Every structure is written in C-alpha cells, then in structure tokens.
Structure 1
Amino acid sequence: MKLKLYIALFLLSVSAWAQPKVSTSVNVTKNKIGAEFRLTLKTDVDTFSKVKFPERKNFGALEVIQSYKIDTVKKGNRYELIKKYGLTQFDSGKYTIPRIPVVINGKPVFSDSIKVEVNDVKVDTLKQKMYDIKAIAEVKSDWGTWWIYVLILLALAALGYGIYHRLKKTPKEVKPEPVVYKSPIEKATSLLQQLETKGLWQKGEIKSYYSELTDIARNYIEEEIHIPAMESTTSELIEALRIAAKQKKLKLSNETVENLEKVLQQADLVKFAKVKPLDYEIEEDKKRISNSIVTIHKSIPEVVEEDDELALWNEQQKELVRLQKLKKQKQNRILTTIGVTFGILLIAVSSLIYFKGWDYVKDHLLGHPTKELVEGDWVYSQYGNPGIKIETPKVLKRVDASKLLPKEVAGMVKEMQVFAYGSILDDFYITLNTATYKEEVKADLDKAVEGYLKVMESQGATNIIVKTEEFDTQKGISGKKAYGTMVVVNKIKGSSTKMYYELLLFAQNNGLQQIMIAHRDDDKYGKEIAERVLNSVELKVE
C-alpha cells in the first residue's frame, strides 16, 4: 500500500510539474512618466507545443509602446520562449500590470500581476536653462520624382493605343451570306438534306441529330402555319396543330399528326432521358418527319382567303410569340444578374475566410454583440455609496434594490444601491451594488462570496466552479476576487449556456461593495471587456 501511495504521489507531482507555466518579470518597478517598463514573459514547453503571446495596445492602464520579437532558447528537447513588451504611462500613480493570458496548446495560461509606480519628473526652472522654440523645419517634397509617374502613364497610354490600333486593323471574319429560300417547304427540304450529309447519328451524336431534326420540323410548322412551334412543348404543339387544321381547313389525317407526335416524343426521350434508339428506329423517325412536312405542305389549300377573324388570330399568335420571347429574355437577364452578383459575393466571402478566417467574417459581416461593445464609446462614472469608479461600455442602469433584499437582511441594511447592464441570462452581464449597514459590522468577504453565489443559483446558475484570490486596485485598496465558470439555465427557452464570471468584493466605511461580470466562456470580446472593466475599478476613499 505504501508503494502504491508513493507511486501515486510521484505521478501527481510529475503531472503538476508538467503543467505549462508563465514566469513574469519587469526590469524596474518604479519609473518616471513616459519611461519604459520592460515586461518579460517566459514559458518552458516541449518542441511540439504551440504558444501564442497576446498582441494588445494596452495591458491594464499601461500602454504597449513596443512588442519585441520572441526569443527562443533550445534546452535539450524543450524550448524556452521569451517575449518582451515595452510599457509606459503618462500619468503618475501606482498601477498594476494585470495577469496576461498566454495561449499554450489552445488553453490560456495566466502570468502573475505586478505592481509598478510612475513618478513625476521634478523640474527646477531656476537651475534648468531655458531655450527658445526651434524654427519650423522644412520638409523635402517627394514630388521631385514626378516625371517618373508621368513617363509610366504615357507608356501605358501608348501601349493601350497600340493594342487598339492593332485590333482595329485586324480583318474581321467575313461571314457567309445567309441562304434565302423561296418557301418554307424548300427550306425544310434543303435542311433535311444537309442534316443527312453530316452523319451525326452514325458518329454516335444521336442527341444532336434529334435536336436538329425536330427543330427543322418545328421551324417549318411555325413559318408555314404560323403557330409558336419553337416555344411550345410537344403536347402544346400537337394541340395547336389540330386547332389550326380545323380553323384553316387543312386536310391532315390523324395518322400524320400521330406520326409527327411520335417523333417529337422520341426526341424528348433522347434529349432528356438519354434514350438511345436503334438504327432502324432512327431511319423510321427521319422518314416520318420528312413525310409529315410534305403532307402538311400538300394539305394547305392553294388559295387561302383569310377572313378578318383568321387574320386576327394570326396576329394574336405572332404577338404571343413575341411576348414569350421578351419574357424569356427578361428572365435570362435577371438570372444572369443574380448569378454574377452571387458569384462575386461568394468569391469575396471565400477570400475573406481564407485570408482572415471564419471568425473575422462572422464578426464583421454577420455582427457580434460584444464586439460592438468593445468598439463603442465607453463611459467612466461613479456609482453607489460607498462610491465605485468604473469604466463600462454602457451606462449601468439603476435597479430596485428593495425587491432583491431578503427580509432577514433588510433590517440590517441602511442603504443599498444596485446598478446593472443586461441580465444573467444574456451573453454579457455587469452588475454593481453597494450597501451600508445601520450598525458597525465587520464584513467577512469569504462569506459574502458564498452569499453572492447563492443569489446566482437562485437566478438559474448551476455547476458553479469557484476560485478565489486577493485583489488590489491601482491605488492599493485590497479586496477579494472570485472567478470561475458556471452553467446558466434559461427555463423559458429550454437552453443552457456556459459562462465565465469574475466577482470583486470590498469592505470599507461600514459597507460592502460588489462588482460582478459574466460572459460566454468562448467569447473573446467578452474577455477583453471584462479585463478592461476590472482594471479600471477604483474605490472612492472618504
């Protein structure tokens, strides 16, 4: 049993030692206004670890004026990574460099916070020699090389003119003059003969053969009988042909119409269902089309006297064909515009995702509520009594404290003020409250943390993980900090969200001051807001 205990303790010690750590140091803790504090972060990792140091404009109240390159020192099979930052502050006082997250293998590891002091620069105007203001310095203009840009523009213009002149002189292809046929039957017969000379179906191009074959027949019917054959489906064409035969008194037998319908249906199957007819079937379809065209031609009376009603019908059919073509052209233009626009948007979004990542596109195009809070106008104000000075992305609104106080506590409290932004069910939440007691009370901050966590449980928080540590403001006022994660259950929506929270508690002037911030655990903008808010906290000292 002792051996097993020793092994277990050894493994625990090894695992504890193997956890990545970030050591923190600063070259000086006291400096003059505007002078540089050299902050150094070190971490010892294996060769397979991925380490990402933060890049920010501010660490707490100190401004980052220089982010130095990472130094790598190899120690056997491990690396020591050293990252240095140059920090400064242009206002005297005591400040705290906050805990800085370093992402190691996808998990944040925090550095230690360090207190620094910025002192005023004493100037003795009696001993310091005074100098006059320097004269205005002349700045050399870069327009001395303007002629280079002019030459480039002239060269581009000459190149463009040369290309245009060359294209203009290039002889255009002379298109053969279209053949003019005397009648629709002559045109159809000639086209059928040309189709046979191509030998399409013998080469296996059956679909092209049937398309041209049926187009010849449709075009003939449209020109000879004046019905919209090219724009009609097979069933519509056959129906229109039967109606035209009755109105124009064409001597068409049912057999002729049925033979034409069989070929058109066969062509539809070839074009859309990929049916491959046999050679004898193709020959038979060719004969049917040829015979149908000849029969229709012979069925037309030699002298056709159009009465007013027939002339009107023909005009209506022509107008119908024209309107159908216009409608189709309009639809094609709309679809083309939509397709081009969608294609451009798709290319632009894909490029952004490739170069910037999905999170960037989601935050900048789709929007992110806490990102808007980070980039908005912040407010620095004082709340409650004893007063708390704090910087927040939005003004905190007053909440009726009488509804929040339990009966057993209300009798002890002289005054209580509560301010908040959002609620615990939102993605981001800030609440601040101050209380003063009627009698002299020594506040126990540890018990106050427990009490506040019970309040969060009553509001829907579960699985609360708590860590505590001491917390000092920039002016050195000490308090208690509790932080960790919790799962907030929304009973109305039937959903749950994992949240990260930070709670600050201070006891002074016979009162209690509390600040709580909560945001989604995976929200990087929420973390930025929380860090900036907590670094701005200062208490009013009476």
Structure 2
Amino acid sequence: MKNLLLYLVLLLSIQGFSQSNAVKAEVDTMNIRIGEQFQYKLSIDGTDNVIIPKLQLNGLEVIDSLKLDTIQNKLVQKYILTGFDSGAFYIPRQQIFIRNQAHFTDSLLINVATVAIDTTKVKMFAIKGIKSEPYRFDDYKHILFWVVAILLLVGSILYFALKRTNDDEVQTSEQLLSPYQEALKGLKVLDGKLLWQNNKIKEHYSELTHIIRNFIERELHVPALETTSEGLIESLADFNDSNTIIAEKETIDKLNGLLKQADLVKFAKSKPLAHEIEADRNIAKYIIDNLKPNVTESETTEVDLEPVIIVEKPIVKKPSLLVKIITITVIVLFIATIIYSVSKTQPILNSLKPQVTDVR
C-alpha cells in the first residue's frame, strides 16, 4: 500500500513537471498605465495536435491577436492586451491541450496605474452644446411637396387669369371694330405678311377670300363663310334684285371672278402672275367699298323719331396684372400657412389625447 502511494506521488510530480515545461506564459511588462498596451506571449513545446482555446481574462481586454509562429519546433502565440480600469489584475492560468492532454500556464499579475493630471496646467474649454444630427432629405420632404403644390396652384391660377384677360382684350378690340374697319385691317395685315412674294400664293388667296367672306357675313348678314362660291354669288344676286343690298352688277361679277380665281389657286394649283395677284388685291378692296346693306328712308325716319336716351355706363377700372398676381400669391401663401400649421399641430393634439386601455 505504501509502495502504491509512493508511485502515485512520483507520477503526479513527473506530470506537473512536464506541464510546467510544456507551456509558458510571459509579458513584456507587469506595470502599465490606463490605456497602455503590453504583450502577452504563450510558448508551447511541440507543433502537432495542439489546441489553444480562447484567452480568458479578468479586467483586461484583448486589442489584437498576432499570427501564430513556429520557432524551433515550438509554437508561439502573442496577444496585445490593455486595461482601462486602474488596479491589480491577474491573467488567470490558461489551459492548452497538447496531444489531448491539458497543460496550464502560470497566472501573472498586471498593475494598471492611473495617469496623474495637473488641472492647473490644463487649459479648460467651454462646455459644448448638444450637436444635432445632420438634416436629410426626409426632413424637408413634406416642405418640398407643399412648395410644388403651391407652385402648381399659382401657375394654374395665373395661366387661366392671364388667358381670360387676353381673351377679353381681343374680344373687346374686335367688337369695337365695324365690319368695314375689320376688313380694311385684315387687308393691311395680309399685305404685311408678304405671302405671295414668298411663293405662298395659296395661303394668300385663302386669307384674302376669308377677309371678304367675313365682311359680307357681318355687313350683309349673309352666311358667306359656310357657303360655296356659286351659292354666295347667287345669294348676293337675289338680295340685289330684292333691293336688300346696294351693289352694282359689276361688283358682284368682280367678286365672282375673284372667288373663281381663288378656287383655281387652292384646288387646281394655279399660279397667277404678280400683276394678276395685285389686281385681285385691288378688286377685294373695291368689293369691300361697294357692298352695303340697303337702309330705307322709312326705317331711318322711324329711328330718328324715336327718342334716344343715352345712358353712360360707369367706367369700372379693372385691376392691373401685377395687382392680380400679388393678390393671388398672398391668398395662396395664407392658405399654405394654415395647412402647414394644422399639419404641425395635429401630431401634438394626437399625443395629448388620453390613452384608453380596454381591460376585459
């Protein structure tokens, strides 16, 4: 029994001796300051069937784990450690397996000291305020939508307002002109276009006949714009025979020739000479000057005998375009301000509502 106990003691002592020689732990310094780094090295005898578990630490931290090296049939594993709390910390025994046998390193003591700071020599800085996060697109997204909507609304209102103003002005100016004045104005505008001089003969005759037909329709109340050339001549001849209009046969014949010439140009691609085109222009002026409605003396007398009461309409001064634009802009901005205020206060009102919990 005594021999058995002796053999066991010898065996344990031999094993412990082999374990202490098989693995070894070292540090390059045992005293550091807070935040300083030091090296922790593990040396292992043998390179085959070696397992190095994760490093176990208390109060210290691993900064980096270097590459495993092999030096003279030994494995060397180095770690970079540091400590951020002052005090004395032990690196506990590390367990390493060599050929499925556990070996332990020695524990090491590391002293972490604080850094003395002389506050009298350190420059003091003012306390900085809280730095807000940078703005992103989502922060301005709702504002961008409102701006686009307002611009579209203002643009639409201005478009229709300006269009209506222009239409009113054009309609008023046209109504102020008599049929004769309108026809003379049309001839003058046609001369300024220089259509036939630029080889646009068809366009020239189309506008010329339109001016004459529009004059006849307004002055004589004959549907000249929708009537064919032959139908228009027959209507004028009938009105002339019934003394409804004042026109010589020569005037109607010249109108008939002008309309036929225009039809040949428009439909048969005829190209009259320059002197013929100028002659047709003068004929148009002659027709406009000599076609008049017949007003009898009895009608004139009846009209003269009736009392005429002149009532002057009050002159209403319309606001200018600038005033309209400013008014519309102010109204739109006012509406946008109300909508924006409501959108901002709605989340606050929702947060102030009492929370009701349904308990059943």
TM range (shorter): 0.3 to 0.5
- Select the structure of larger CA radius of gyration: 2
Normalization by structure 1: what TM-score?
A: 0.26
Instruction: Give the number of the structure with larger relative contact order, counting CA–CA contacts within 8 Å between residues 6 or more apart.
Output: 2
Normalization by structure 2: what TM-score?
A: 0.37
More strand per residue: 1 or 2?
1
